[in-house]
Structure 1
């Protein structure tokens, strides 16, 4: 009874070892070098970017005059590559404005399907948000700062109390001085 599970496990292990070897022997040799899948690396500039920012992507696995498409969970939409200089393809991609800080993988596939490339972009958050859409007021990002300081400007309760106190002191000083002048001089 115990030999059945042992025999099953031994058969499974032998099959696992033999299958990759037999698959490698059965694979036909590629006669045409264009049939091989080329792999490469996606060059990302800048490699660290804030949400809403743009990155430039470059690949050279697709060959001259071809096109490719690139995707990432960080991208707002698919990146479409066009010929750059030489064998390079170039694309620009916008990072989603709601992308969380993390490293995101980029996948690029050549149009003919014979080349692929991968890369990584790092999304970082800065302490102060930078506007990526039209701002509410002129001056770029100063609208946020101006809005915060408006609440601190102008007279508030504290200023009113200080003003009333100073006014009372001034009234007492004027009354005291007037009273001293009215008194007749006594000898």
Structure 2
């Protein structure tokens, strides 16, 4: 009986050690970061939103060619890419991320272009472009959101089930050992 208690205690310690601390982690203040910090008109940007608990979100700004679809593992932030409009005046533009009923806000600063003779801005669409595929881009974005992997809830359930299975094996082994040696 003593070895079974020791085994159960060891199993509990192992389960506690491998249980993810998703709710204990602090993702920091909610907000939206843009990389590069001051993108030029027509350039691609990467957005990172903190403060979202879900796995998907949408970033909206007048500075962007189209809304940016953000994905992530939840709790650690959401990430996505978009492009800054080509015909955009320099200034600060609000960015709003909608994620699971929450809104996270930030700004993107578009600097004044450095004018050089003979250099023009790269060509860029000024609106979403449905180029081929019959609308498969929207389906691919939904597949990307599902391909992120299991979340914290699924990991905890898996660890609990594995722990229960280990306890059952130990109890059965202990019973077999007690029955055959008396």
TM-score range, shorter chain: 0.3 to 0.5
TM-score relative to the length of structure 2: 0.46
TM-score relative to the length of structure 1: 0.45
Higher Cα Rg: structure 1 or 2?
1
- Larger relative contact order (Cα-Cα within 8 Å, sequence gap ≥ 6): 2
